[in-house]
Amino acid sequence: MPHTPTSPSAPPSTSASAAAHLSAPAPGTAPAVAAPAPAETGGRLTAAQGTALYVGAVLGTGVIALPALASEAAGPASLLAWLALVVLSAPLAGTFAALGARHPDGGGVATYARLAFGDRAAAVVGWCFYLAVPPGATAAACFGGEYVAAATGGGTTTVVVTAAALMAVVTLVGAVGLRLGGRLQLLLAALLVVLLATAVLLSLPDARLDNLTPFAPHGLAAVGSAATLLVWSFAGWEAITHLAGEFRRPATDLPRATAAAVVLVGVLYLSVAFAVVVVLGAGAATERAPLGELMAHGLGGDARVLAAVVALLLTFGAMNTYYAGAANLGAALARDGALPRGLARGGVAGQVPRRSLAVVATLAFCVLGVVAVTGADTGPLVMLATGSFVTVYAIGVAAALRLLPRGSAGRRAAAVSLVAVLALLLMTGRYLLWPLALAGAALAYLRLSRRGRAAAARPAARPADARAGSSGVCRPDPRAAPAHEDPDASL
């Protein structure tokens, strides 16, 4: 998108985001419900491009790695976990679509939390999402690197180099602007849907129903463990809310994109998971590149190169959406005082928040550096990101119950989603310590930031005789800023 300069003395805001900001509730008061979204915004995303972004964000790397991990955890019974999360994704996606259509703002779930519960809740949600993206993106990039390593016979170095290259490309695309990203995403989504559907259909002649027995080798309780892992696969419904203001017509395009994406993602996930179990059998649990094996059955010969290409496309799609969403979120948080105000630049719909994007990319490279040096597994990175995303979901759907009109479809979807998300929170276990730590850091920063601004707003005390003339009457200090100037403008 074209970059339009903004005034450095004031944080950027769209009409929708500014209205949302002004309608935030004061402590102890009921939330103010903002007016419905305008029919047109400064954004350029269409419903088709939005569907592609959703497919890229949600389908993402889950389909290339997690069928095997879920099968290892619960055997064929992992299909129940897949089905449960597909069913859950419909009301969850509907909830965030309703919120995004009504309040199109780059802050996404953080904005909804502020409107419903105040600035502290917004800061907590914002930090949880913003700082979940670097470890999540690192894990996703490494998943793509594993497929490249399998295709080329490489090792850890191949994985790390591939991951770094993916991060660099996604950062460059994000810096160019969402318009290019949206068009690329549309093309990639169509290509991936065709490839995955073809691989599944052609592999089914090798399916054996005997591979479904024993159905629950580790007991039905293991389905819960598999579901916790699979939350990673369905994280993404909230990511598009940060891009709601980038849609041409959020009130209509966002719900349409959501509905189409829910159907596509649900069908593809269930199809791939079923095919992996019935075609690969017990070997699915130990296969590093299950999609590659599935393609080999369906297409014949050595399909590892094609699988690597598909894995890279899926990884790029997911990372592209999350980088864009996190960059917009960071700008909105800076605008609202929950991050340094310098990151707010470029946060208006139609602009590119390059400073915020640079922070996300830098942190992701740092995490990748730690993984490369220590040889750490990507599993904990997945669970750290999952814990943060589930926390965001819980606060987001709770906010929807306060913000969406009574009796609306979105509010009913939020009620269903809240019960399911609370159950996921319980299953996340010790990995909730990460979002709790982020919550504490966010609240501490917010307090320090407010103290700093309050101190800057107070004029410095000066001795009376230094400001007084010979008559003893105090005169204005010429070094003091005029009273009408914003003391934070230079920030």
On whether the CB atoms of residues 14 and 34 are closer than 8 A, the answer is no
Q: Name the nearest CA neighbour of 357 among 383, 328, 332, 386.
A: 328
Read off the amino acid at residue 417. S
Q: In the structure encoding, which two tokens stand for residue 473, read together?
A: 């009457």
Query: With a threshold of 0.75, does the pTM exceed it?
Result: no
Distance CA 460, CA 25 (A): 32
Distance CA 162, CA 428 (A): 30
What's the angle, vertex CA 124, arms to CA 122 and CA 56, rounded to 5?
Answer: 85
Angle of helix 15-22 relative to helix 304-335, nearest 10 degrees? 50
On whether the CB atoms of residues 71 and 86 are closer than 8 A, the answer is no
pLDDT at 14: 38
Read off the amino acid at residue 228. T
pLDDT in tens, the chain (491 residues): 333 333 333 333 333 444 444 344 444 344 444 445 555 545 677 888 888 777 776 776 777 777 877 888 888 998 998 898 888 888 988 898 888 888 887 778 888 999 999 999 999 999 998 999 999 899 889 988 988 888 888 888 999 999 999 999 999 988 887 555 556 667 777 777 887 888 888 888 888 888 898 898 888 888 887 887 777 777 777 766 767 777 878 888 888 888 888 888 888 889 988 988 898 887 777 766 677 777 777 776 667 788 888 888 878 877 887 888 889 889 988 988 899 988 988 877 667 899 999 999 999 999 999 999 998 877 788 888 888 888 988 999 999 999 999 988 889 999 998 988 888 888 787 888 999 999 999 999 988 888 777 776 666 545 544 444 444 444 444 444 444 444 333 33
Q: Name the nearest CA neighbour of 144 among 321, 388, 368, 308.
A: 308
pLDDT at 2: 36
On whether the CB atoms of residues 344 and 12 are closer than 8 A, the answer is yes
Bond before 25 cis per omega within 30 degrees: no
Tracing tokens 């990319």 back to the chain, one arrives at: 361
On whether the CB atoms of residues 84 and 228 are closer than 8 A, the answer is no
Distance CA 333, CA 356 (A): 10
Q: Name the nearest CA neighbour of 433 among 377, 398, 379, 390.
A: 390
Q: In the structure encoding, which two tokens stand for residue 368, read together?
A: 């990748």
On whether the CB atoms of residues 474 and 468 are closer than 8 A, the answer is yes
